[in-house]
Amino acid sequence: MPVAAPIAIDTAYERLLALGAGEVNHVAGTLALHLRRTEALLRRFGNRDALCAAGLYHAVYSTAGFPVALCAVAARRTIADTIGDEAERIVYQYGACDRTAFHPRIGTALESRFVDRFTASEYAISRQDLRDFCELTLANELDLVTTSPAFCGAHRTHLVRWFEQMRSLVSDAAFDAFRTALNRSQLHRAAGG
């Protein structure tokens, strides 16, 4: 089977809209806007195209924290034809993550054992896949923190602890952006804003 090459991000975004992402409500606007901002953050952090494209499609199969699927996992080939095989593999892993079981493992000796909620299985995750997962996770949460003061206020303490666990797995650019955003939100709250 030939390997799918990624298509242009603008075309991929149009296909995402055709799947209904523009009609799905999200924390700060529509799912489509959140996905586009996540992709832009990953690009700003200097990530490779496949990870940025994965950011654009990261919730297409749903996630453990966002139950709306734009397409079924059975459509993986169609998604791979849109964003490329590598990006689709990252998207699958992000959507498949059993967050309750896997997130606490990050930063521990068990972080290389991924828990897949779609298959109800556990398997090894490579160091690069773990780094991609964490970088995408940080970009996703950073978008929510910067666009929703309510989300930031409700989750700030947890996110600070969790991203400290991820520190060695994410880029300096991503970690610095997250730290800056949290500091700004704390200053904003202290000023009564």
In a domain, 2, yes or no: no
Is pLDDT of 157 > 90?
A: no
Lowest mean pLDDT among 3-12, 21-30, 73-82, 153-162: 3-12
- The tokens for 92 are 């699958």
Residues 45, 49, 50, 52: is their CA dihedral positive or negative?
A: positive
The answer to pTM > 0.85 is yes
Q: CA nearest 90: which of 140, 45, 40, 53?
A: 53
Question: Tokens 């799947």 label which residue?
Answer: 19
In a domain, 97, yes or no: yes
**How do residues 88-143 score in pLDDT, each as one tens digit?**
999 999 999 999 999 999 999 999 999 999 999 999 999 999 999 999 999 999 99
Cα(60)–Cα(64) distance, integer angstroms: 12
Predicted confidence (pLDDT) at residue 12 exceeds the cutoff of 70: yes
Strands (E) across 39-189 are located at 113-116, 121-124
SS3 for 114? strand
Q: How crowded is residue 43: how many other Cβ atoms within 10 Å of its Cβ?
A: 18
Predicted confidence at residue 184, as pLDDT, reads 72
Asked, for residue 1, whether it belongs to a domain, the answer is no
Number of domains into which the chain is organized:
1
Domain assignment present for residue 3? The answer is: no
Mean pLDDT computed over 66-73: 95
Residue 164 lies in a domain: yes
Q: Note down the domain range covering 104.
A: 9-190
- Residue 127 belongs to a domain: yes
Cβ neighbors of 176 (< 8 A, separation 6 or more) are none
Q: Which helix (H) or strand (E) holds 26?
A: strand 25-26
118 domain-assigned = yes
Residue 128 lies in a domain: yes
Read off the pLDDT of residues 35-66 as tens digits, 9 standing for 90 and up: 999 999 999 999 999 999 999 999 999 999 99
pLDDT tops 60 at residue 189: no
**Across 26-40, average pLDDT:** 93
Instruction: pLDDT band for 188, please (50, 70, 90 cuts).
Output: very low
| Angle of the 76-83 helix axis to the 9-18 helix axis, nearest 10 | 150
